[in-house]
Amino acid sequence: MSNLIYSGVDVVELAKKYKTPLYVVSEDYIANRCREIREDFMEKHEKTMAVYASKAFLTKEMARIINREGLGMDVVSGGELFTAISVGFPMDKIIFHGNNKTSDEIEMAVEHNVGRIVVDNLYELDLIEETAKKHDKVVNILFRISPGVDSHTHKYIQTGQVDSKFGIPLNEKIIHKAIEEAMNCKYIDLRGFHFHIGSQLQENGSHVKAVKIMADLMKEVKDELGFVTKELNTGGGYGIHYNGKEERKPLKYFTDAIMKQLEDSCNEYGLERPLVIIEPGRWIVGEAGMTLYTIGSIKEIPGVRTYVGVDGGMPDNPRPSLYEAKYEGVIANRVGEELTKTVTIAGKCCESGDILIWDLKVPDIKPGDILAVLSTGAYNYSMASNYNRIPKPAVVMVSKGEDRLIVKRETYDDIMKNEL
């Protein structure tokens, strides 16, 4: 019997030191993914840029790491932008997304000189022009386009299909009107287009198809409107390993295919290839994280199922309930023991749907054992809630055998601090 070691750190000792539930994130893993992005995309291909999709996982320390690793950052709210500002993140490397940015958020973005704003609709275009005029600044924008590509993923994380709340539909009248309005704006510089087709994608075919569609659009608007596309943001969505046959493919599996299709199309149409931007989030941080829980109740229903209760659940990881997401887990203090039982890991919320893992094979466990749920780096901490008035877990960063606290555990007082 041995303990699980992660980035040179004994996670069972982390559970003792910081208590559970506990988010554990490997800085080493994040740095490796960022290095892969630099070597296999930014240095391999000219006129490229990579930004981290911070909605996957953002803290002040994560923003510092991303800056140190040479990537930009994609933000989707005033809160994410404020986090970047608070640590001195270079504003020219910020791309501000969101399908319904408020006037206050646009004000913040313009005031702090973000590098680009991705515009979802003409209402937003008017707000940006008005705000930029007030500050006497020219704002770089991209139009988000819905390319009409259905990605093979859960319907809640598809974003590029025709029927979507995101982006401007691929309709000639609508797009041409938007481009003409932007070209006539004194305080806006339309740089090009953005698309994002979905998340947790295992194949590159949808990206390639979307790039071909966007290249067709680039030619069309140059011929008919005289607009030259200087930038194309191809989004992210690259999948990782959660369970079973899912895998994190090398970055170049996606980016080489994207670049080849774009270069082929540009050569065919006589277009200069624009700057290409990618926005990986989950791919960088998803497998970097795990969540530690302490096992409590064990309820065996003969001939039916054995439920194993843990001291967290839906509030710290809503993805199984929201997306039917599937995870793998190990008993961290019993690594190497024979897996003799099949159990279901139940969260502590007053919800029948608060199940973290169905049918997990485990050794002969007992209350007090430590469960590590793997690949929780993305969309766990960032989507955490206080449902059932449960405080949010602490976050610990590990690297080369050392650990450091980057987010304190919430207290009951923290939950109530804004209440009157």
* 14-61 pLDDT tens trace: 999 999 999 999 999 999 999 999 999 999 999 999 999 999 999 999
CA separation for the pair 157, 215 (Å, rounded): 24
Spot the catalytic one: 185, 266, 349, 350. 350
CA separation for the pair 210, 208 (Å, rounded): 5
Exposure pattern of 212-223 as b/e (b: 16+ CB <10 Å)?
A: bbbbebbbebbe
Residue with tokens 């997401």: 325
| 279 and 71 Cβ atoms separated by less than 8 Å | no
The fourth-level CATH superfamily of domain 27-285 is Alanine racemase (3.20.20.10)
The CATH number of domain 5-24+287-416 is 2.40.37.10: yes
CA separation for the pair 46, 178 (Å, rounded): 29
Could you confirm whether 34 is annotated as catalytic? no
First CA to last CA distance, the chain: 51
* 162-197 pLDDT tens trace: 566 778 888 888 999 999 999 999 999 999 999 999
- Could you tell me where in the chain the CATH 2.40.37.10 domains are found? 5-24+287-416
* 211-227 pLDDT tens trace: 999 999 999 999 999 99
Report pTM.
0.94
Residue with tokens 């008919």: 224
- Could you tell me where in the chain the CATH 3.20.20.10 domains are found? 27-285
The residue among 18, 29, 3 whose CA lies nearest residue 399 is 29
CA separation for the pair 72, 4 (Å, rounded): 33
CA separation for the pair 366, 362 (Å, rounded): 11
| 87 and 60 Cβ atoms separated by less than 8 Å | yes
3-state secondary structure 319-360: HHHHHCCCCCEEECCCECCCCCEEEEEECCCCCCCCEEEEEE
- In the predicted model, is pLDDT for residue 325 greater than 70? yes
Distance from the Cα of residue 30 to its chain's centroid: 13
